[in-house]
Chains A and B, each alone.
Chain A
Amino acid sequence: MAVLDINHLSISFGGLHAVDDFNVSIEKGCLYGLIGPNGAGKTTVFNLLTGVYKPTEGIIRLNGADITGKSTIEINKAGVARTFQNIRLFKGLTVLDNVKAGFHNHYQYSVLSGIFLLPRKRQMENSMNERSMEILKVFDLEREAGLLAGNLPYGKQRKLEIARAMATEPKLLLLDEPAAGMNPNETAELMETIRFVRDHFDLTILLIEHDMKLVSGICEELTVLNFGRVLAQGKTAAVLSDPEVITAYLGA
């Protein structure tokens, strides 16, 4: 069964059909790409998927369960995590605390245990610390664990966003332009990391990206959006050689 199933998803802002009759089905374990020119509606799809916007029409199913219209918080609990095109870290918190915030619903203890330093607090904090360091290691951010997130260089901030999303233990991970602002070396490294987390954390990944090297390098399937509508869909190689895609997006 598909992890993500989207049918007839649409939203308009005023007269603008930002997303218009969007359909996609993503199998478990797939690394799926969503591409298209600026303003095509890619980020809007993510916002619909995560409950930031409510669709005017359509159904979103996660592992068969309808999550359309649910709140962002419920959708995360159901197993969807994301990163943001314009980075949204908790800048005043440490790198470690950014990841630990992601564990919020997985290692719980009451406010009173927190204030009165009950044993459960120490247990949970210790487990969280260990797990967070494991995740940070995957993104090569261990050394920076004690720094404020806002003080990280740009490329590392992007990686920390993925690390924080991973801490929520998602089934489906949405990455909005993860390589934006990275140099070619960083991008190559990121491609490895994305593959690694997909394999080791039993994930399905949907990513938006403009860097065609990354897209053709790691995405198994693609959807191309243009003016809110699906222009092409299918295996990466086939989609990228589609003449319509070449004229509309890739350029001759």
Chain B
Amino acid sequence: MNKTEEYQNEILKKIKNKERLNIAITYVMVIAIYAIVQGLVTTGNISNLLKGILVPTCVYVIAAISLNLVVGFSGELSLGHAGFMCIGAFTSGFFSKAVGDGLPDGFRFFLAIVIGALFAGIVGMLIGIPVLRLKGDYLAIVTLAFGEIIKNLLNVVYMGLDSRGIHFSTKSSMDLGLESGGKKIIEGALGISKIPKNSTFTIGVILVLVTLFIVQNLIHSRAGRAIMSTRDNRIAAESIGIPVTRFKLMAFTVSAALAGMAGALYAHNIGKLNTSKFDYNMSILVLVFVVLGGIGNIRGSILAAIILTALPEMLRGLSDYRMLIYAVLLIAMMLFNWAPAALAFRERVREKLPFGRKKKEVE
């Protein structure tokens, strides 16, 4: 090997190591948090209230990471993420209830998650195909409408199952005309009840890790580069032959599928499901996690989702001051993540750390 090659390999190695470290830190962080929380649970040092939000926190973490793929890496604004979670929740819930005891619990839950992700991904793709061709913030408008439409559609869906197969109606569960042994599955605005409660904290964390695996590896691949170059400069991306629409669509579809997975986790946690939870507020909440955690910052999304989900519960005792503290925290996080002085400060701290990044270099 000659001198220049050696030098080039050295540089490449440094870049690769930095990338690997960056990816590994995220996994380690999630596993560490899991270990701590699990420790608290087994030693009984955690209130029942907090125990109740462990799975929902995982749901929000997955939702935030997946939304970040669209907002942070693909550079599009999506305001209907709850809509995809809703699809994932309902399709997976329907499946689990329809199958019932026909399959072993674990396998049925696994299939339910896959189905939730698949359906949400397909719907995401169908929405993305016409919308992502357009330049401009059309995605924001369409996803906003989509989130509301899907909710209202599901509110009038009645579905049931008997020996003759699946029955469908938009009027009432009586209208399904089920045989005496048949079961109602989706009951309009009442949604689905008695979904098997398969979700556990451990499964939630595993799904978070699956999400991280998919998103981080996608970003650090050819497709990820195409997605981010389209975000940074669409015209330049086209000028080097990157089919920009295809990669925007890919990011959006993957994001929708992961949101569907989060929805499936949600549905199998409480056992009861109706559309009212998956409203505009939930979409905005997930967006808040992404923005406060730092757009394009995956670890930030995770931490923001955890802190902002756990905090309101922990502050419940303070009743009146709860929302005040919450609001102050929101502002503090925003300043910490986005104020120029805070950014410069973090840059300085990083330089001093042994594995910190040097000024101007990437994570």
Contact = CB atoms under 8 A, between A and B. Distances in A.
B243 A101 contact: no
Interface in A104-153: 104-105, 107-109, 111, 113-117, 121, 124-125, 129-130, 133, 137, 142-143, 145-148, 151
Interface string B95-115: 000000000000000000000
Contact of B4 (A107, A121, A137): A137
A97 interface: yes
A168 B240 contact: yes
Contacts of A17: none
Interface residues of B, number: 37
Interface in A65-114: 71-73, 76-77, 81-82, 84, 88-94, 96-98, 100-102, 104-105, 107-109, 111, 113-114
A176 to B, nearest CB: 11
B314 interface: no
A111 B231 contact: no
Contacts of B12: 96, 129, 133, 145
A118 B231 CA distance: 26
Contact of A102 (B4, B18, B233, B240): B240
Q: Is the interface of B mostly helix, strand, loop or mixed?
A: helix
Nearest to B217: A115
Nearest to B11: A145
A204 interface: no
Report the contact-size class of chain A (Cβ under 8 Å from the partner): 35 or more
Contacts of B221: 109, 111, 113-115, 121
B228 A133 contact: no
A197 interface: no
B27 to A, nearest CB: 14
A229 to B, nearest CB: 26
B204 interface: no
A233 interface: no
Contact of A107 (B213, B222, B237, B242): B222
Contact of B239 (A81, A130, A151): A81
Given A111-B221, A114-B224, A117-B217, A167 B15 contact: no
Contacts of A73: 238, 241-243
B361 interface: yes
Given A93-B232, A147-B362, A81 B240 contact: yes
A82 B218 CA distance: 28
A164 interface: yes
B8 interface: yes
Contact of A165 (B18, B223, B228, B240): B240
Interface string A43-78: 000000010100000000000000000011100110
A167 B241 CA distance: 11
Contact of B235 (A52, A71, A105): A52
Given A82-B239, A89-B233, A116-B217, A146 B225 contact: no
B361 A147 contact: yes
B233 A114 contact: no
Nearest to A133: B8
Interface string A146-175: 111001000000000000110110000000
Contacts of A52: 235
B229 to A, nearest CB: 4
B250 interface: yes
Interface string B236-264: 11111111000000100000000000000
B14 interface: yes
Contacts of A147: 360-362
A111 B8 contact: no
Nearest to B8: A133
Contacts of B331: none
Contact of B240 (A76, A124, A143): A76
Contact of A96 (B15, B222, B228, B240): B15
A167 B228 contact: no
Given A91-B232, A93-B229, A146 B11 contact: yes
B231 A92 contact: yes
Interface of A: 50, 52, 71-73, 76-77, 81-82, 84, 88-94, 96-98, 100-102, 104-105, 107-109, 111, 113-117, 121, 124-125, 129-130, 133, 137, 142-143, 145-148, 151, 164-165, 167-168
25 contacts: A73-B242, A81-B239, A82-B239, A84-B235, A84-B239, A89-B232, A92-B231, A92-B296, A96-B12, A101-B240, A104-B222, A108-B222, A109-B221, A111-B218, A114-B221, A115-B213, A115-B214, A116-B217, A129-B12, A142-B8, A146-B361, A148-B360, A148-B361, A164-B240, A168-B240
Closest A-B pairs by Cβ, 7 of them? A114-B221, A76-B241, A88-B236, A90-B232, A72-B238, A133-B8, A151-B360
Given A104-B241, A130-B8, 7 more contacts: A89-B236, A93-B232, A96-B15, A101-B242, A108-B222, A137-B8, A146-B14
Interface of B: 4, 7-8, 11-12, 14-15, 18, 213-214, 217-218, 221-226, 228-229, 231-233, 235-243, 250, 296, 360-362
